């Protein structure tokens, strides 16, 4: 299945673009998407978006088809749009 990832802030810098289309297996969830993105960009994205307990970091906004996500285990479907808004370093 194909999903679209839109990234802003530090995550956009790490991915190297603001939008990315990915082909994933049908049973992929958000947590697995983070791993795929990390493998693709050569950086551990899970450290940015997940807490040490494995929950979504409250400082990172993750939206799934326009609805804010609260669980990294949320399943994905074909055509889904995932938006990541992470804080920028500095001030």
Considering the entire predicted model, what is its pTM?
0.85
Q: How many Å apart are CA 83 and CA 62, to the nearest integer? A: 6
Q: How many Å apart are CA 15 and CA 4, to the nearest integer? A: 13
Strand partners of residue 26: none
Where does 12-72 show beta strands of DSSP type E? 19-23, 61-64, 67-68
pLDDT confidence band for 88 (50 / 70 / 90): low
**Beta strands 2-8; 81-85: pairing state:** parallel
User: Does residue 54 or residue 81 have the better pLDDT?
Assistant: 81
């Amino acid at each position: 299945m194909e999903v679209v990832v839109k990234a802003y802030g530090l995550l956009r810098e790490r991915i190297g673009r603001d939008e990315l289309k990915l082909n994933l297996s049908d049973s992929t969830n958000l947590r697995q998407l983070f791993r795929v993105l990390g493998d693709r960009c050569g950086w551990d994205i899970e450290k940015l978006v997940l807490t040490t307990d494995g929950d979504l970091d409250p400082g990172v906004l993750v939206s799934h088809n326009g609805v804010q996500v609260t669980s990294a285990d949320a399943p994905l479907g074909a055509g889904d749009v995932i938006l990541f808004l992470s804080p920028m370093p500095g001030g």
